[in-house]
A and B are shown apart, each in its own frame.
Chain A
Amino acid sequence: MTVKELDQVVVRFSGDSGDGMQLAGNIFSTVSATVGNSISTFPDYPADIRAPQGSLTGVSGFQVHIGAGKVYTPGDQCDVLVAMNAAALKTQLKFAKPNATIIIDTDAFRKSDLEKAAFQTDDPLTELGVDPDRVIACPLTQMVKDALADTGMDAKAVLKCRNMFALGLVCWLFSRDIEIAFNYLRDKFAKKPELAEANIKVIQAGYDYGHNTHSSAMNVYRIESKQKEPGRYMDITGNKATAYGFIAAAEKAGLKLYLGSYPITPATDVLHELSKHKSLGVTTVQCEDEIAGCSSAVGASFAGALAVTSTSGPGICLKSEAMNLAVIMELPLVVLDVQRGGPATGLPTKSEQTDLLQVLFGRNGESPMPVIAATSPVDCFDAAYQASKMALEHMTPVVLLTDAFVANGSAAFKLPNLADYPAINPPYVPEELKGTWTPYMRAENGTRYWAVPGREGFTHILGGLEKDNKTGAISTNPENHDLMTRLRKQKIDNIRVPDLEVIGDVDDAELLIVGFGGTYGHLRAAMEELRAQGRKVAHAHFKFINPLPKNAAQVLTKYRKVVVAEQNMGQLAAFLRMKVDGFVPYQFNQVKGQPFVVNELVKAFNDILDK
């Protein structure tokens, strides 16, 4: 047996929806992160409600990228593919590198399995053109049954442990410390120790099988951690990080956190997460519809809470009118849009960046609203905190854009210390204004004061009708409406956001790569790959989209060539062209519902450089 050192590796676990691939993938990434590897994961769920077992549409995947140094994406293609049945092999092979190692359960490649997966012959490997030398074909199901034979578990429960055998085998392949997985399971199933022990037994069996049977023929790999950043870490998905960001902001601001929401893929996990944390005083209301989700949040904001509503694109369509109400009433509100494929129901479980122009402009009237786009699963925490702070301090609804890729993906999250985060100071109306205060009186930065019900001397009526700037009464005066429109715009334009950062060949790049939100990792990886090829390139990524960073125009006009790469038909490019005089970028647009592929980006950007 030889042990080979690797810089990075991508593993993809795939199987039937019920095969527990997400759990196996999660444990593998945790085991890797624990030893200091960088991780980035992406689950790929089928959209079917419950596809027939063993069918092509029922395959679920979980990809994890681990690296000795920093990894930015879950990886284009995998080095190891675990296929728990015939359908998984058929549908997932396209995600594997040509020389990838493939692990299959031969017990799930029987005639009926091959039929369900629409194979034409009884030799699936030949049919797909897979070199058998690359394949670890093992009677996995039978070995799981044997391992658990003396436990007295029923057949169904035994089969549920198949994923752990695959995990054990992959742990052997990458010389992982399986004790870490054991501890994880003992913790996870603390209330069902017998279940934890069964899973542990199967992991050990998988590990031993690899060691005993394949050591002579196969290499084993090691990924040493190179850029360790000391600290305490946890694995976090984007949706969970978003929920944590809201909790942290509410605590910092000393406010109750209120979430009004309606279940919608892929945003629902934020509702799930927040509804768990009542011990922190979090109030969640699962409303009758999207409209009520947003409307009730507006009501909660009026009542003095940090109010949030969470949804995905179709929900934004429904919430627009209530979002606009918060614009004209100048109340704080965070609207989370976890973007998915559209239009209409579109691709509910897949990822796109197609809601940008909708959240910027998709409302009646002049309706300026800040937009922040989280750049990675971990960044969702900071982005949610920043969106909450911005909403509360500037008395405005703020849109927080994430997407299915960022929301479901995970990475190692260094535990934040709330003391290090900036204070949140809403502009509560000063007591000395009692008697002279009117609802649209503004603080120096143009922000309306907040008078929360319950305070004597500050009763007032807000509403959707235009109000007089001075008295706060309903007004249709033309000059006043023009003034109020400008004041609302100015208030948003005044918000200070961090400058746009340029990474790479900052001074002499021949091509600046520009993107926003969840494509950060792929564009960054593409930039680094191009530089490794000797190209002069740089990357600038928008997290703050409205208002734009002050240096945006300067950065965008500094380089000879600029490409705006986004998962839509050119929405950010259109917005930047509107905001920056004479800006005519190249565009890279892809709307496949799948993350960008770094190699495709590199090729496209090379083509632009060669033009």
Chain B
Amino acid sequence: MEYTAQDFKKGQPRWCPGCGDHFFLASLHKAMAEIGVAPYNTAVISGIGCSSRLPHYMATYGMNTIHGRAAAIATGCKVANPDLTVWQISGDGDGLAIGGNHFIHANRRNINLNMILLNNRIYGLTKGQYSPTSPRGFVSKSSPYGTVEDPFRPAELCFGARGHFFARAVATDAPGTVDILKAAYNHKGASVCEILQNCVIFNNGTHEAVYNKEGRAKNAIYVKHGEPLVFGENNEFGLVQEGFGLKVVKIGENGITLKDILVHDAHCQDNTLQLKLALMGDGDGFPVALGVIRDVDAPTYDDAVTAQIEEVKAAKKYHTFAELLETNDIWEVK
């Protein structure tokens, strides 16, 4: 059966006008329609926060649960019913502060979940406190003199937890978002999608450099597996490896040709260069990497659980409760 975005839509979102969540929601509806899994075979599970309201606008099964636990709840849902396609929606506070433990363990176990991290670097629902992704020195209601702590960089956390899929898109970039959502669905295992998203009220402009098309042309690089890592308004720049790091070069200068440019390998098991790509763009003169940065096959937890059950079923002779009782030392009183 063919689906349209309309088939996944429900209700009237209550986010602030201009909030990045609106853009992301529209892309998610579109991506789900293109993926083609029926709404009744889809579960969308969120925690608490502005972005975690999202399931209420889905015509699928779903839960808007408690703060930080979306990944754990989604884990149980997927393991108990592997036939469901499960999307987990969290913000940066929900996913990386109160829910940080579940985020890393879902990645480590490699549960087949599509894990969406809507990163606006602020607590919006509680009205403007710094989050675990806010930059050092960030001034907010709970840090009037600036924060004195360093933020998490989501890719680092994902890779550190042995994550096998990491992609990034800007909420306002519908095609870029739909692309990575589809890639996340197609990847078997935990698929982390970081969505750079603006909070118009409490952290306006946090992703300004890449939030509109013109900005992205200058300040972002779309990475694509098997293609050279070039960027710029006319693709005039590229990335090369230098020493232990990456370097931006201009094609045509100093004898550099397209052939010298590093070719993206999202499937490379070793995540060293993928991590370097993922960490670019923090005011370091590098562009922000968008697209699928890492996409490596690995056994999934839910498949392994199912396979082990089948294996043990075949190996053991007891399959019912009555048969289980018989495996014990039994005596008879006459």
| Chain A nearest CB, measured from B50 CB (Å) | 13
User: Of the candidates A33, A256, A321, A325, which one forms a contact with B80 in the assembled complex, judged by CB atoms under 8 Å apart?
Assistant: A256
Contact A299 B45 (CB under 8 A): yes
Contact A251 B320 (CB under 8 A): yes
A520 at the interface (CB under 8 A from B): no
The dominant DSSP class at the A interface is mixed
Contact A303 B84 (CB under 8 A): yes
Task: Chain A residues near B43: list those with CB within 8 A.
Answer: 302-303, 453
A463 at the interface (CB under 8 A from B): yes
Chain B: interface size category: 35 or more
> Interface size on A (CB < 8 Å)?
73
Task: Chain A residues near B330: list those with CB within 8 A.
Answer: 232-234, 415
Task: Chain B residues near A473: list those with CB within 8 A.
Answer: 11, 56
A440 at the interface (CB under 8 A from B): no
B240 at the interface (CB under 8 A from A): no
Contact B329 A184 (CB under 8 A): yes
Mark out the residues of chain A between 228 and 275 whose CB falls within 8 Å of any chain B CB in the assembled complex: 228-236, 244, 247-248, 251, 256, 258, 260
Contact B305 A459 (CB under 8 A): no
A123 at the interface (CB under 8 A from B): no
A283 at the interface (CB under 8 A from B): yes
Contact A459 B40 (CB under 8 A): yes
A40 at the interface (CB under 8 A from B): no
Mark out the residues of chain A between 417 and 431 whose CB falls within 8 Å of any chain B CB in the assembled complex: 417-418
User: Of the candidates B60, B76, B333, which one forms a contact with A258 in the assembled complex, judged by CB atoms under 8 Å apart?
Assistant: B76
Given A283-B309, A329-B63, A474-B56, A299 contacting B72 (CB threshold 8 A): yes
- Give the contact stretch, choosing among A57-65, A287-295, A390-398: A287-295
| Chain B nearest CB, measured from A278 CB (Å) | 4
Given A300-B77, A461-B58, A454 contacting B72 (CB threshold 8 A): no
Contact B55 A456 (CB under 8 A): no
A322 at the interface (CB under 8 A from B): yes
Contact B320 A280 (CB under 8 A): yes
Contact A233 B333 (CB under 8 A): yes
Contact A292 B331 (CB under 8 A): no
Task: Chain B residues near A307: list those with CB within 8 A.
Answer: 76, 80
Greatest chain B CB density within 10 A among A236, A281, A301, A461 is at A461
B201 at the interface (CB under 8 A from A): no
Task: Chain B residues near A36: list those with CB within 8 A.
Answer: 333
| Chain B nearest CB, measured from A386 CB (Å) | 16
* Closest B residue to A458 using CB positions: B40
Contact A418 B69 (CB under 8 A): no
Contact A232 B80 (CB under 8 A): no
Task: Chain B residues near A298: list those with CB within 8 A.
Answer: 65, 73, 76
Contact A415 B313 (CB under 8 A): no
Task: Chain A residues near B312: list those with CB within 8 A.
Answer: 278-279
B321 at the interface (CB under 8 A from A): yes
Contact B321 A292 (CB under 8 A): no
| Chain B nearest CB, measured from A442 CB (Å) | 19
User: Of the candidates A234, A297, A462, which one forms a contact with B63 in the assembled complex, judged by CB atoms under 8 Å apart?
Assistant: A462
B48 at the interface (CB under 8 A from A): yes
B187 at the interface (CB under 8 A from A): no
Given A279-B316, A296-B75, A463-B55, A453 contacting B84 (CB threshold 8 A): yes
B241 at the interface (CB under 8 A from A): no
Tell me the bound Cα distance from A418 to B105 in angstroms. Answer: 38
A43 at the interface (CB under 8 A from B): no
Task: Chain A residues near B101: list those with CB within 8 A.
Answer: 288-289, 292
Residues of B within 8 A of A (CB): 11, 38-41, 43-45, 48, 55-56, 58-66, 69, 72-81, 83-84, 101-102, 104-105, 305, 308-309, 312-313, 315-322, 324-325, 328-334
Residues of A within 8 A of B (CB): 30, 33-34, 36, 180, 184, 187-188, 225, 228-236, 244, 247-248, 251, 256, 258, 260, 277-281, 283, 285, 287-289, 291-292, 295-305, 307, 321-322, 324-325, 329, 415-418, 453-465, 473-474
Beyond A233-B332, A462-B62, 10 additional contacts (C-beta under 8 Å) are A225-B333, A288-B104, A295-B73, A299-B75, A302-B76, A304-B80, A305-B80, A322-B69, A453-B77, A460-B61
What are 18 A-B interface contacts by the 8 Å CB criterion?
A: A30-B331, A225-B333, A232-B331, A233-B330, A233-B332, A233-B333, A234-B328, A251-B321, A285-B79, A292-B101, A298-B65, A301-B76, A302-B61, A303-B80, A304-B81, A453-B84, A460-B61, A461-B56
Which 7 interchain pairs have the tightest Cβ spacing? A299-B76, A296-B76, A463-B64, A300-B80, A299-B77, A279-B316, A295-B72
